[in-house]
Structure 1
Amino acid sequence: MSDSAEANDAAGTSTTEPVHIESGEHLQTLLTEEDVVLVDFYADWCGPCKMLEPVVADIAAETDATVAKVDIDERQALAQENGIRGVPTLLLYANGELAERMVGVQEKSSLVDRIEQHG
């Protein structure tokens, strides 16, 4: 692991791959520390979520946005707090504020455009 990757890990974030959210506090820390955060609420049993997974991974690797993943089965309270009624649901935050809510599979180009608008 490179020094910069270790520094990212020490800070709890990595811009090249999705960050799996462990708690509401963990998510709040990301939203506070990062300029643009794309939060993917998903479930392992969800077919459309599996279709979206490589797109979300590409977004993490190819954009300046931090990508966070929230398993709604493991983090039910967090899903409820965010009004998640179906998966996949993507929440795009800019400067700690909710900028967009997208439900269902999204095109990569559309997501990149939306991230760049808020970046």
Structure 2
Amino acid sequence: MSDASDGNDVEEIREQKKEELKQKLADDSTDEPVHVGSADEFARETAEGVVLVDFHADWCGPCQMLEPTVEALAAETDATVLKVDVDQHQQLAGQYQVQGVPTLLLFADGEPVERVVGVKDKDTLAGLVGQYT
């Protein structure tokens, strides 16, 4: 056998390992909501794909009621789920005209496409996300 065929085998293995790693990273990234730390992180996360953003506050009773639903959606849907604390990120909340919490925004490929204010059940939110995934 020639060295060229060995090189092809190594390249095939390398590509297979890359794909496996990409899949593992994709699987791991959608299991839990991502707590946004900055406006730059928010912009990066909402730039592509379907992203559900939960604008919330720690002191908000309805936000606490919605928390298990948001966590379940992160685990069960293909959408990325972000959490934005409006007290820590007032500028982001203002930019997206969040006037009450909880407010959920659904982004598709970088654009806000749906807005839900208040507590909603999991089926309603999953149906909304499902329209864009």
TM-score range, shorter chain: 0.7 to 0.9
* Structure 1 consecutive aligned stretches of length 4 or more whose deviation exceeds 4 Å: 3-6
The equivalent position to 1:82 in structure 2, one of 65, 89, 96, is 96
Deviation at 1:77, TM superposition (A): 1.0
The equivalent position to 1:112 in structure 2, one of 117, 123, 126, is 126
Distance in 1 between residues matched to 2:33 and 2:120, nearest whole Å: 17
**Amino-acid identity (%):** 53
Q: Which structure would you say has the larger Rg?
A: 2
The one-letter code matched in structure 2 to 1:101 is: R
The one-letter code matched in structure 2 to 1:93 is: F
- Aligned pair count reads 112
The equivalent position to 2:41 in structure 1, one of 26, 44, 53, is 26
Change (3 A) 1:94 1:100: same
Distance in 2 between residues matched to 1:6 and 1:24, nearest whole Å: 26
Q: Which residue of 2 aligns with 1:97?
A: 111
Structure 1, residues 66-88: CA drift from partner, whole Å, max 9, x if none? 00000001111111111110000
Q: Which residue of 2 aligns with 1:49?
A: 63
| Superposition TM-score, scaled by structure 1 size | 0.88
Gaps of 5+ in 2: 1-20
Matched, 1:39 2:74: no
Gaps of 5+ in 1: none
Q: Which structure has the highest helix share of the two? A: 2
Deviation at 1:7, TM superposition (A): 3.8
Matched-pair contact (CA < 8 Å) for 1:23–1:78: no
| Superposition TM-score, scaled by structure 2 size | 0.79
Q: Aligned-residue CA RMSD in angstroms?
A: 1.8
